[in-house]
Amino acid sequence: MRMGYGLELTQSQKLVMTPQLKQAITVLQLNALELDQYVKEQMESNPVLEVTEETVKPLKEDKEQDINWKEYIEDHDNRHYAPNPYNPDHEEFSYENIISKEATLQEHLLFQFHLTSVEGKYNEIGEFIINNLDENGYLTISTEILAKDLNEEPHMIEGILKIIQTFDPSGVGARNIKECLLIQLKNKNVQQPIVYLVVEHYLEMVASNKYPEIAKELHIPVSEVQKICDFIRSLEPKPGRQFITNQNKYIVPDVIVRKIQDEYVVVYNDSSVPRLYIREDYRKMVLSGENLNCQDTKKYLNDKLNAAVWLIKNIEQRKQTIYRVVENIIGNQKEFFEHGKKFLKPLTLKEVAEELDIHESTVSRATNGKYVQTPAGTFELKFFFSSGLSKTGGEAISSNSIKDYIKDLISEEDPQKPLSDEKITKILQKKGISISRRTVAKYRDNLRILSSSKRKRY
């Protein structure tokens, strides 16, 4: 075999991920709030971009990579992609726009601790204990370790901890669920010893709804055990969690659906993202050719103008893609909007992609994290995509619709004779829904509904 060096011309095909394509993918998968932040970041790095307050003029499609900027600006004076910009001066006053910072669990407890008469080194011990509580209000470090860290006697740590355990929220400072509940019983001044007894020795049986077994061991009626357990279940197992999520969260819908007579009209929410256009001073600079003698200046300006136009085009493309996807969803799910969740049809990303002649991944990016405001409520777009089961007559029914049936059946059941998964299966089968008991159990678990044995009342 002969070996040697030489030049050879070959032809091959491959997909090249250009910066413009990467940005288009990024822009499409961002939700409204993330896109707003992304646009602001792009404006900080690109001086050519500016927010506009004028009416939209659609962009022409530029197929050439090298753009004639003078012609571009002359043909599309002050171009941008959406009307009605956000202007805080014109917005009506709303209390929802005033967000106050709520206290954390530690701040709440430290405030109470500083109102006590504890002074000196005891004050330092109390602060140290409070700062070692987890987000649920539990002390996960032993008092022996705390004593060692503070070079103090364990009984002194215990004494300060007992003071903290009297604070609001009740149950805070406990080391386990049993101690947490006992603290709450004491703070509520519960007098019945049997309630303390159940918490001390039968918590696992309470969790499993084994009321007859508890009644047998305590020699009391099952109905009394149920009352005791109902009261125990009303206590807070995680006293600190009310301080975990105390920030206001807003959902900004990308699309709004309105019903006009018998038709559903899709409207893109243009107020969700700042409106962009090319700054006036840079526009004049390109038209006049001033200060463009330097090659570096020309290249810089050309790069920034190129980036600005691609960003505007990619945002416009995102708008059109989401609009088309939502329009298709509305067409497929019209019965849902007319009659409710039980009429939600099975729908997949692939089906929508084939109908719109786009890639399935594009539909996935266009729906992930995006919301639509409709007359039936505000929904995440992925809500409308679900697998389905067959019905009598060859029709299909969405898994979300079946879950709604299960929820309704359980809400109407006799608490003393709750419906078993097998019974629910038979009821659904009589409605023409082909479903197995295992699937019913899975859907019930997804709905966070307990099994029939744990739902039973005595």
Q: Within this chain, do residues 221 and 288 fall inside the same structural domain, yes or no? A: no
Q: What is the DSSP string of 52-70?
A: --S--BPPPP---SS--HH
Instruction: Judge whether 111 and 103 are in contact, CB under 8 Å.
Output: yes
Cis peptide leading into residue 193 (ω within 30°): no
pLDDT at site 173: 93
Kindly state whether residues 204 and 144 are assigned to the same domain: no
pLDDT tens by residue, 222-260: 989 999 999 999 999 999 988 876 455 677 888 899 988
Domain boundary residue, one of 238, 261, 292: 238
313 and 199 assigned to the same domain: no
Domain containing residue 231: 175-238
323 vs 51, residue with greater confidence: 323
Residues 165 and 283 grouped into a single domain: no
Among 119, 140, 173, the domain-final residue is 173
User: What CATH number is attached to the domain comprising 430?
Assistant: 1.10.10.60
Transcribe 292-322 into DSSP letters: --SHHHHHHHHHHHHHHHHHHHHHHHHHHHH
Residue 41 lies in a domain: yes
Can you tell me whether residue 379 is helix, strand or coil? strand
In this structure, how many other beta carbons lie within 10 angstroms of the beta carbon of residue 219? 6
Tell me whether residue 143 is in a domain. yes
Whether residue 15 is contained in a domain is answered as no
Q: Is the same domain home to 28 and 129? A: no
The per-residue pLDDT for 288 is 63
> Looking at the domain assignment, is residue 5 inside a domain?
no
444 and 397 fall within a common domain: yes
Q: Residues 308-330, buried b or exposed e (16+ Cβ, 10 A)? A: bbbbbbbbbebbebbbbbbbbbb
Q: How many domains does the chain have?
A: 4
Contact criterion met (CB below 8 Å) for 332 and 347: yes
> For residue 85, what pLDDT band results from cuts at 50, 70 and 90?
very low
Same domain, 268 and 359: yes
Do 316 and 401 belong together in one domain?
Answer: no
Mean pLDDT taken over the chain: 81
Out of 186, 204, 238, a domain closes at 238
What pLDDT does residue 235 have? 92
Are residue 234 and residue 313 in the same domain, yes or no?
no
What's the pLDDT band for 60 if we cut at 50, 70, 90?
Answer: very low
Are both 286 and 359 inside the same structural domain? yes
Residue 436 is assigned to a structural domain of this protein: yes
Q: Residue 42's CB: how many other CB atoms inside 10 A?
A: 17
User: What SS3 class is residue 50?
Assistant: strand
- Report the distance separating Cα 79 and Cα 58, nearest Å: 7
Q: Are residues 292 and 355 in the same domain?
A: yes
At 140, which CATH number?
A: 1.10.10.1330
In whole angstroms, give the CA distance from residue 11 to residue 9. 7
Binning the chain into helix, strand and coil, the percentages to the nearest 5 are: 50, 10, 40
pLDDT bucket at 213, cuts 50 / 70 / 90: very high
Does residue 9 belong to any structural domain of this protein?
no
Phi/psi at 22 (nearest 5 deg)? -60, -40
Kindly state whether residues 406 and 450 are assigned to the same domain.
Answer: yes
For residue 93, being part of any structural domain is answered with no
Let me know if residue 449 belongs to a domain: yes
User: CA-CA distance, 320 to 322, in Å (whole number)?
Assistant: 6
